[in-house]
Structure 1
Amino acid sequence: MTSTVRRAAGFALVGAFALIVPLATGIQSPAVATVVATGPFVLVAALVLTVVDPGSRLFELFARPGDYEDGKLHGLAAFSLAVAGLALLAVQFGMAAWVFVGTVFVVAFGNLGQRLVASVRSDQFVATGAFIVAGFLAGLAGHVAGARLQSAAVAPPVVVFLAATGALVAALLRSVLFERDDPLVLLTVGLLLWLLVVLDPSVATQRIGVALAVTAVLGYVSYALDTASLPGMLTGILLALLTIVLGGYGWFAMLVTFFGLGGLSSKYRYEEKLQRGIAEENEGARGSGNVLANSIVALVAVLATAASPSHIAVDPVLFLYAFAGAVAAAMTDTFSSEFGGLYDNPRLITTLRRVEPGTDGAVTWQGVVAGLVGAGIIAGIASALLAAVGTTGALVVVVCGLIGMTVDSLLGATVEGTIVGNQGVNMLATLAAAITGVVLALGGGLV
């Protein structure tokens, strides 16, 4: 057994003490419950910082590379304190204790699964897959065990959804952060899963099964075709999972069309784009930042839909148009830049003067046509698969795409590179399109 595997097993053992917390929630005295829930983890942190000496067996078991320089087990202490913080939320602020247990198990045992596989296979994709599978299974076990200890009734589809979401979020964060950032991963996963439980989404067994199968295939295909980096792939399948479960199949069809056609458009005549200086980095493979910048507004719309009208007094159809508008804008901007950039004599949108290809804010009429085709594809899918979107609604989606593309070009010509970067411009363009969708849906009587 390698040192990294032993260390991961040690962290998992510490994480297993999370099962104490559901029992602590049954204690009548809040002060006693807090001590019982958080005490073991605070004690671990205190002991490893004050008692465990460098060179001891315990130090060698838990030490990360940075700990040798400091002579203290800061990694284990930070991990234990993060768990203690989540435990405090469970006993004092309403987080379900079973969600807490599942969160800790996802991160701790997911890491163990990744280290076990990495010790025999150096492929990063395989190791990350091991983290997701191990984290998912451990999350399932943690949720179920925590619910039984807490005597809480939890629907099986909800448990599966939360375990899958937690495993994907943790894997994504660990792919872009360092191992020492596990406390941040823990807190982020815990807070997200708590939010989902508060929203209390209706999770159907069939839908979660389809979501898991489809997103797994989508992730593998996007990575195999090299249309996304590993973090980009994880971001995409997480968004797809949430969209299918919280939105529906029609919402997912729009999103996956953007991911698929958008990724392939980046590969189209890539060598020529490279020579013209307009090609995406990493041979067109989109990273998590790019995926999130184009999808974060759509994701917020999905979460808002799950919260309406129970938590937000707004018709959920409005969030549908916000989602469709944001996706249409992302598709329109991608098509206009990936296809339009292949043509000569682009003009700056603010002055209409001819500029070099690749200039921020430059447009070609061919790019505009390509962008409108992209918006039309999203609008057609929305109209065909969603009853709330008819012919008028489809036209609204196309207009949203056109607005998003125009805003992207205007921001590119004026503030990109000085005030905001490319990803910020993409996000603002999709936000403008989403707002346009809401305004037009209200004004056109579509709600």
Structure 2
Amino acid sequence: MTAPVRRAGVFAILCTLALAVPIVGPQAAAPIAAVVLLGAFVVTDGPLFDLLAYPGDYEDNRLYGLITFVLAGIALGLIATTFSLSITVFVGTVLLIGYGNLGEQLARTRTDDDVVHVTAFSLFATAAAVVGGAISMSFEYGPAVAESQLPTLLFLAASGALLAALLRDVLFLYDDPVVMLSVGLLLWLLAELESGLGTGEILVALAVTVALGYASYALETASIAGMLTGILLGLLTIVLGNYGWFVVLISFFAIGGLSTKFRYEKKERLGVAEDNDGARGSGNVLGNAAVALGAVLGYAASSAALLPSNPDPTLFLFAFAGSVATAMSDTLSSEIGSVFEAPRLITTFEPVEPGTDGGVTWQGELAGIVGATVVAGISYALFPEVGLAGAAIIVAAGFVGMTVDSLLGATLEGTVLGNQGVNFLATLSGALICALLVLSFAVLG
């Protein structure tokens, strides 16, 4: 057994102590955390130090990795006992991190394949969170309640595992305290929302999103981080929205990803090709889809009457479609328009070099309008509440958002904003325009 596996095993055992909170109560569990924290300060060398130390701990002979991990757990526990974060979510989050890391370290002893490492982490993390959550809920509310809440436990566990795997991929491997707090806060939010799906339906949703996510990685249209981000977004969209929402979202990922490969060799010669052979990372995925995710969460919160003034959930549907139409329009206009060598700056219409921020071509603008029309057509086919007028609004919102992206690119990108910030603001403008136009037509008609 390697040192990383032994260390991960000990950390997993320490994480299991979180079960003391639902079993014996927060007051009795606090001394356990205090003893572990004190021991981490006291042990500065010897076999026990070597067992628990991360590579960076040797510089100061202090178990900073363990100390910050325990402090993160204590912080999450205080939130659980002070605010509305449930003990079940607290226990599931802590076990998720500990056992997910153990699964990943075991996988590393067998293969160097990063996809296998991520898969092992996610499977171990999900299983540990479900089991830990069920035990916690059984002690708090009884076995019958725990059994009835299995779909919710599975959804929360899988969502937390995916977020943790993503954060561990884009951060450092030893940033588990940051990962723990981030996962706990996300699950706190998701636990307040109603999914309405059964265990089998959530398993199907996981299978669908994982299959499509891996396909994007295998086709080299997404990096591992991009794949994980897409899977998490897809799962949340299916569970909190429905498959119709997911089809709209996946149409962007599929068509947008393939458009990146369009005449890729020429884009490389012109210096406008996406890095990493066109594989999109988590930043690119989130820059284009964060607003859509916010609309999904808003829809679920509105449907559960958790928002003030109880806005119509349909508004969030149109905001979602408007943001995706913008992302599709902008991606197609950039990827297709960039192969034409006569772009003009959108603010002055002066000729500029290919790849210049804010440069547009008529071919790219046409491709962008087609992209928005595709999203509008899918929305019209899947959502009866959209209608022809709604579809036209979605196209208009996509075009406006694409234009905002170009204007921001010509004026602020590279100085005030980065590419992902521009994408976020453009999709936000598309979402807001779509919702406002729907409201305006509702008032007028």
TM-score range, shorter chain: over 0.9
Which aligned pairs between 1:244-259 and structure 2 lie closer than 5 A? 244-259=238-253
1:399 maps to 396
Q: Give the TM-score taking structure 1 as reference length.
A: 0.95
Residues in 1 aligned to 2:58 and 2:255: alpha-carbon distance in whole angstroms: 48
Q: CA deviation at 1:442?
A: 0.6
User: Which runs of no fewer than 5 residues in structure 1 stay unpaired?
Assistant: 26-32
Task: Name 1:19's counterpart in structure 2.
Answer: 19
Partner SS state of residue 420, structure 1? coil
- CA positional deviation for 1:24: 4.3
Q: Is this contact kept in 2: 1:107–1:135, CA < 8 A?
A: yes
The one of 129, 139, 150 equivalent to 1:149 is 139
Alpha-carbon distance, 1:43 to partner: 2.3
- What residue in structure 2 maps to residue 350 of structure 1? 347
8 Å Cα contact 1:12/1:109 also seen in 2 = yes
Deviation at 1:199, TM superposition (A): 2.5
Say which of 9, 33, 38 aligns to 1:46: 38
Q: Where in structure 2 are the equivalents of 1:96-245 lying within 5 Å?
A: 96-151=86-141, 153-154=145-146, 155-245=149-239
Structure 1 match to 2:328: 331
Question: What are the Cα deviations for residues 62-100 of structure 1, in whole angstroms up to 9, with x where unaligned?
Answer: 110001111011101111111111111222223211111
Q: With structure 2 as the length reference, what TM-score do the two structures score? A: 0.96
> What is the percent sequence identity of the aligned residues?
54
Classify the secondary structure of the residue corresponding to 1:311. Answer: coil
Partner SS, residue 59 of structure 2:
helix
The superposition leaves residues 382-429 of structure 1 with CA deviations (integer Å, 9 ceiling, x where unpaired) of 000112111111111101110111000000011110110111100000
CA distance in 1, matches of 2:30, 2:166: 27
Specify which of 46, 49, 65 is matched with residue 59 of structure 1: 49
Partner of 2:9: 9
Distance 1:123 1:201 in 2: 34
Alignment check: 8 A CA contact 1:223 1:233 kept: yes
Give secondary structure in 2 for the equivalent of 1:419.
coil
Give the equivalent residue in structure 2 for 1:320: 317
Given the alignment, which residue of 347, 356, 360 partners 1:363? 360
| Contact 2:44-2:63 at 8 Å conserved across structures | no
Q: Match for 2:14: what amino acid? A: V
* Of 302, 318, 325, the match for 2:296: 302
Alignment match, 1:28: none
Answer yes or no: is the 8 Å Cα contact 1:228–1:287 preserved in 2: yes
In structure 2, relative to structure 1, the CA distance for the partners of 1:237 and 1:370 (3 Å cut) is: same
Aligned: 1:267 with 2:261: yes
> What is the aligned-residue RMSD (CA, Å)?
1.3
Q: Measure how far apart 1:101 and its partner are.
A: 1.0
Query: What are the superposed Cα offsets for residues 31-84 of structure 1, whole Å, 9 maximum, x if unpaired?
Result: xx4x423332232112211x2131x12111111000111101110111111111
Contact 1:99-1:146 at 8 Å conserved across structures: no
Aligned to 1:390: 387
SS of equivalent residue, structure 1 residue 179: coil
Q: Which 10-residue stretch deviates more, 98-107 or 202-211?
A: 202-211
The alpha-carbon deviation at position 358 of structure 1 amounts to: 0.7
| Equivalence for 1:413 | 410
Question: Quick check: 2:205–2:235 contact (8 Å CA) kept in 1?
Answer: yes
TM-aligned CA deviation for residue 179 of structure 1? 2.5
Deviation string, structure 1 residues 272-327 (Cα, Å, up to 9, x no partner) = 10111111110100010000000000111111111004111110000000000000
Partner residue of 2:337? 340
Q: C-alpha separation between the residues in 1 aligned to 2:382 and 2:99?
A: 40
* Residues 131, 171 of structure 1: 8 Å contact kept: yes
Q: In the TM superposition, what is the alpha-carbon distance from 1:156 to its structure 2 partner?
A: 1.6
Q: Match for 1:445: what amino acid?
A: A
Between the two proteins, the alignment pairs up a number of residues equal to 437
Counterpart of 1:86 in 2: which secondary structure?
helix
Offset at residue 201 of structure 1 (A): 3.6
Q: In the alignment, is the contact (CA less than 8 A) between 2:194 and 2:240 conserved in 1?
A: no
Cα distance between partner residues in 1 of 2:374 and 2:31: 56
Q: Tell me whether 1:439 sits opposite 2:441 in the alignment.
A: no
